[in-house]
Amino acid sequence: MRVSLNWLKDYVQVKASPQILADQLTMAGLEVKKIEAAGSDTIFETEITSNRPDWLSHLGVAREIHAVTGSAFKIPATSVPKSPQCEKHFVVTLSDRDLCPYYSAVFLEGIEWGKTPDFLKARLETCGIRSINLIVDITNYVLLEWGQPLHAFDADRLHGNEIFARRAQKGENITAIDGTVYELSKDDLIIADGRGPIAIGGVMGGKNSEVNTNTKNVLLESAFFTPSSVRATARRLVLGSESSYRFERRVDPRGVDQARDRALYLIAQHSKIGKISRVFRAGKLPIKEPKILLPQSEIKRILGADIPGTKAKTFLSRLGLKISGTGKTITASIPSFRSDLMRPVDLIEEVARLYGYGRIPETLPSMIPLEPHVDPILEFENEIRQLLVSLGFYEAINFSLVDPKPFDQLGLYKEERTRLINPQNKELNLMRPSLLSGLLLSVRRNASVGETEIRLFEVGNRYLQKSNQFPHEERMAAFILSGESGGSWLQKKRPFGFYDLKGFVEMLLARIGRIESWEVKPSHEVMFQKNQGFVLETQGKEIGFYGTLSDDVRRIYDVEKPVFYAEFSLEKVLALLKTRKLMKEIQKFPPSPRDLTLILDEPLNAETIIERIREMGGELASKIEVFDYFKGGQIPKGKKSLSFRIFYQAKDRTLQNEEVNRLHFSIIESLNQLFGAELPKGKE
């Protein structure tokens, strides 16, 4: 806002130089961004914060100078001139008091007016407002002086004697004074006469009732419009004005009538008025002037500075607050133009800025050293990151908003999706239900620039929503493989396969070291190739899944080479972890390994066989590995060959061959009876 220093001097004594005054205001919170010479005047370009609409006026800035410097402050004359009572009568009807709580108007009959006085015209122009004619100039002058927008209608161009403040009706439009036709909606507040709209409430007047130099009869409006209504209309119509700028930040309710009277005073000073009507009004001004109790001890506790109570009262009084209380508590009555003051701490802030932030001493608070608290989930996240990096993965960071089309095509998470109602990007309107989408896009980008070995992981939230519940954020970790495993002089390059993924999953779980055991079960999700998707469970609860992504997934994301993917719920894993890492004593006695090759039905998985071997072997079957898988050739159709290496080992003795062989063959017999497992021919 542009503020005239000469104009300010009408209300407050200014003894300091413009530069010093600008510095004082800036240090108190009213930032002066620029000082500009304008003839014999000085203009301050100020930055007004949204919570201080009272600074959007010369009176408000003058009051701030009074508060900062203590110099004398006065309010200009607002006495309504005496005149013969006008017989013209208007009725004000408020159809929607949520949008317009209060509306007032006064009728001026038989005005004889001339040019705008030079001083008034000069002040408007230095503040960036063009002079139009005397009546309009005075309404703009009062706007800059009091911060209360007014509007003057040519009364002879109005239809009927009733003024309506109502919502616009379907199909209504208005030609504003800027010459543009605006289509109105039912959410817009309009001022209307008996024929239709004559102004957009709080934003701009209509061309059909605009005053000009031929106007003899004027209806002068002063109202209080709801800030949110004015803001919404101005944004929708892309129509900003000096009036809407103030209304949408909330004008002073007490200033509505005072500004109207000030305008009448100025019109009478610079023109001749035949008759002035009584004030026609409807509604009630939303004046709230609460009392706040401020214990003086709180000032020192909050600020760390010993500011005497008498000085604090003086500062608050200069701001226009009515101060009372003789004891240890200050009672402050808050004026209507300071609606931002609501709590004792707000008053303490006012005291601090007027006392001077630079005068508040720097002190360190007394503190008792406490053990730092680390969020377990963050600590676990860092552990997972370090483990995945140690396994050769690079971290990726992707957007939480994703395109829903791939999920639609695959039919994934149909009933659990969280969509945005008003997304800025209509293509990205789904909160990701899985980290899969972002990592696949990262794979595609890396592959397109020639990367042949892609190992990526991500830690982030997924968002799932069930029925009418609020969306649930779940912390996840996922990693993805594609391309070839990096070769060296010891090992040639080779394509990544499913067992690379499986190996990384098992290494990750093993290195965490606080999971007792986990189970692997087939997954039937459409994102995985048939028989190559698995669910991980521990203690009967699902903690994640992994597998080879299907051809459909790769086609949708335009990825050519096979992709292997795993995803875990960090929250679920953390909840099931033991508080301490599980350690095993190094065995003192040597193991006795035995290899076992079995011909099995193809649907049987290795985990089922391993579980049975553990049951039969008990503590003596200390370790079981799968080291070979074969299908086809001499293996009958519908069958497969799996080879296991079983390590037999006792904690208290060295096992004898006879004991190991006896146990080993009993296991073979049990597998034959339960699963029809057979030894290869020649091995019986």
Helix, coil or strand: residue 431: strand
Domain spans of the chain, in order of start: 2-69, 91-283, 291-355, 376-576, 592-675
Q: What is the pLDDT of residue 684?
A: 52
Chain-centroid distance, C-alpha 592:
63
Backbone angles phi and psi of 82, in degrees to 5: -80, 140
The reply to whether domains 91-283 and 291-355 share a CATH topology is: no
Of 220, 218, 232, nearest in space to 167 by CA: 232
**Domain spanning 592-675, CATH class:** alpha beta
pLDDT of residue 470: 81
Assess contact for 188 and 163: CB atoms under 8 A: no
Domain 376-576, CATH: 3.30.930.10
Distance CA 530, CA 549 (A): 9
Tracing tokens 């009507």 back to the chain, one arrives at 277
With CA atoms as reference, report the closest residue to 97 among 337, 281, 289, 342: 281
Report whether pLDDT(486) > 80: no
Residue 534 contacts by C-beta under 8 Å, 6 or more apart in sequence? 520, 521, 522, 523, 545, 546, 547
Amino acid at 234: A
For residue 235, is pLDDT > 90?
yes
CATH no., domain 91-283: 3.50.40.10
Which tens digits make up the pLDDT trace of 280-298?
999 999 999 999 999 999 9
| Residue 668, helix vs strand vs coil | helix
3-state SS of 327-393?
CCEEEEECCCCCCCCCCHHHHHHHHHHHHCHHHCCCCCCCCCCCCCCCCHHHHHHHHHHHHHHHCCC
Classify residue 281 by its DSSP letter. Answer: E
Is the pLDDT higher at 538 or at 555? 555
Cα distance between residue 499 and residue 486, in whole Å: 16
Beta strands in 398-486 (DSSP E): 401-402, 418-419, 430-431, 453-464, 472-485
| pLDDT grade for 682, boundaries at 50, 70 and 90 | low
For residue 632, what pLDDT is reported?
Answer: 87
pLDDT band at 318 (very low <50, low <70, confident <90, very high): very high
**Closest to 376 in 3D by CA, of 577, 583, 516:** 577
Q: How far is CA 625 from the centre of its chain?
A: 51
DSSP-derived pairing of the beta strands 197-200 and 592-601: unpaired
Averaged confidence pLDDT in the chain: 92
Per-residue pLDDT tens digits for 613-663: 999 999 899 999 999 989 888 888 989 999 999 999 998 899 999 999 999
642 close to 605: Cβ distance less than 8 angstroms = no
Tens of pLDDT, residues 559-608: 999 999 999 999 999 888 776 666 677 888 999 999 999 999 988 888 88
Distance CA 341, CA 592 (A): 82
Span 452-463, average pLDDT: 95
Q: Tell me the mean pLDDT in the region 650-679.
A: 92
Closest CA to 531 of 458, 604, 474, 438: 604
d(CA 298, CA 307): 11
pLDDT at 580: 65
pLDDT at 582: 60
Give the per-residue pLDDT at 195: 94
Order the strands of the 322-324 sheet from edge to edge: 291-295, 329-333, 322-324
φ and ψ at 445, to 5 degrees? Answer: -65, -40
**Based on the number of CB atoms within 10 Å of its own CB, is 426 exposed (0-12), middle (13-18) or buried (19 or more)?**
exposed
pLDDT for residue 539 is more than 90: no
Distances from the Cα of 437 to the Cαs of 88, 398, 404, 458, in angstroms? 71, 9, 10, 11
CATH class given for the domain over 291-355? alpha beta
CATH class assigned to 2-69: alpha beta
Q: Which of 87, 85, 90 is nearest to 104 (CA)?
A: 90
What SS3 class is residue 203?
A: coil
Find the helix or strand (DSSP H, E) in which 400 lies: none
* Range 452-456 average pLDDT: 94
Place of tokens 């039905």: 601
pLDDT at residue 576, as a whole number: 82
What's the chain's length in residues?
Answer: 684
Amino acid at 661: N
User: What whole-number distance in Å separates Cα of residue 207 and Cα of residue 614?
Assistant: 91
Q: In whole angstroms, what is the distance from residue 408 CA to residue 403 CA?
A: 10
For residue 558, which of 549, 567, 546, 566 has the smallest C-alpha distance? 549
> With pLDDT > 90 as the criterion, what percentage of the chain qualifies?
76
> pLDDT (tens digit, 9 = 90+) per residue, 184-228?
999 999 999 999 999 999 999 999 999 999 999 999 999 999 999
The pLDDT value given to residue 425: 84
